């Protein structure tokens, strides 16, 4: 490879390019009981196909939390990654909003 081809190949594999293609979701942590894992509830609003009414849908995702820094009630962003376990293939990327006092 020439020097120019090497430079373009290296710039194509930067982390910013790789992160651009991953799916990200925003949700609320509903469980932090497991070691290095949080359960994130993602809620979305969709229009019912037949009736046209706006309906709330939700789904829980198991996300990897290496340091155990996210707790119940926190709003977090999760990104899709490689499979870490049977149910866990998402990683918490950042904290959006800390949980208030209960």
> What DSSP character marks residue 8?
H
30-81 per-position pLDDT tens digit: 999 999 999 999 999 999 999 999 999 999 999 999 999 999 999 999 999 9
Domains and CATH numbers, the chain: 22-97 (2.40.50.140)
Whether the CB-CB separation of 29 and 74 falls below 8 Å is answered with yes
71-89 per-position pLDDT tens digit: 999 999 999 999 999 999 9
Contacts for 44 with CB less than 8 Å, ≥ 6 apart: 56, 57, 58
């Amino acid at each position: 490879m020439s020097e120019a081809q090497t430079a373009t190949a290296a710039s194509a594999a930067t982390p910013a390019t790789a992160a651009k293609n991953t799916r990200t979701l925003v949700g609320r942590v509903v469980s932090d009981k497991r070691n290095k894992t949080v359960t994130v509830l993602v809620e979305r609003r969709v229009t019912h196909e037949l009736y046209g009414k706006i309906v709330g849908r939700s789904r829980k995702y198991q996300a990897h939390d290496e340091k155990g820094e996210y707790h119940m009630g926190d709003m977090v962003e999760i990104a899709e990654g490689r499979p870490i376990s049977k149910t866990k293939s998402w990683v918490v990327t950042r904290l959006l909003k800390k949980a208030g006092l209960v």
